Structure formats: C-alpha cells, structure tokens
Amino acid sequence: MNKFIVHTDGGSRGNPGPSGIGVVINDKEYSEYIGEGTNNEAEYRAVILALQKSKSLLAARKLDLNTPIEIYLDSELVCEQLSGGYKVKEESLWPYFMAVWNLRRELKNVSFHHIPREQNSQADKLVNKALDEHLNKPKTLF
C-alpha cells in the first residue's frame, strides 16, 4: 500500500449537542461518541482520530511516516482551515487545529480534500452509529 485514503466525518445532534465521529482508513472503520460539542469540533476531532489511527497503522505495518495520507471530508470550513485557505477565527477550535498541526508535523505527507457529503456516506454512517448507540443506551439509576 503506497498511501492511505481516509474519509472523516463529525456531527452533532443540536449545535452544540451530543456528538460523534466516524473515520474510514482504507479498509478499517472507527466510530466514537465524543460527548457534547459543536459540528465543527466534531469534524476536527474526526481528523485528529484519523491521524492518530493512521500513525498507529503506519507503525504496525512498518511503513515510513512520509507515506501519503489523503484525508477527504465534507466540512469546507475545516478543510480550508487545515489547508491554509481560511483562518481559524473561532477560539474554541484552536486546540483542535493545533493537535492536527502537531500530528501533521510527525506524519509529514498529509493532504486535505473537500468532497460533497454524498461522497462521504460511509464516514457519515459511522457518526450516526456512534450517536445512535450512545443515545439508545439504557439509562442506569446508579
């Protein structure tokens, strides 16, 4: 495998509201409920998870950290901020932006690509799976 193709998505039900993330890296899938947050925070957290998992997969497969990682996401704002097209104006997004920045320095060959939502359906399904599993969990009294 000469590159990683990654699809990420994050979403919240309400903005802010319960949030989940979904990541697809080649043939691997990850989904996670991340608590209360905004859509943009969830989108960033999905990218962070994707980079962390990509780094682990590279190490497990003994691949070079220069291996290309192409990240496809349907959030124009996050994609443009990470690509340098837009400034990060919302203060609450700075910690997420910096986390991505630091992971990119380690991984060296990361690119971001904005795609239409319909081309990101698998990552979107993983977001909804994480949210549905959390929100449908029986509530305990203790």
What are the residues whose beta carbons fall under 8 Å from the beta carbon of 114, sequence distance 6 or more?
A: 72, 73, 74, 75, 76, 79, 80
Rounded-to-integer distance, Cα 42 and Cα 37, Å: 7
Q: Do residues 97 and 88 lie in contact, with contact meaning Cβ atoms separated by under 8 Å?
A: yes
∠95-79-37 over CA atoms, to 5°?
Answer: 45
Structure-token match 């919240």, residue found = 12
- At 109, the amino acid letter reads N
Pick the CATH number of 4-135 from 3.90.1300.10, 3.30.1490.20, 3.10.20.440, 3.30.420.10: 3.30.420.10
Average pLDDT over residues 105-127: 97
Strands (E), the chain: 4-12, 17-25, 28-37, 69-73, 110-114
Domain spans, the chain: 4-135
pLDDT tens-digit map of 33-86:
999 999 999 999 999 999 999 999 999 999 999 999 999 999 999 999 999 999
pTM, two decimals, is 0.94
Q: Grade residue 139 by pLDDT with cuts at 50, 70 and 90.
A: confident
Range 68-97 burial, b when 16+ CB lie within 10 A, else e: ebebbbbbebbbebbeeeeebeeeebeebb
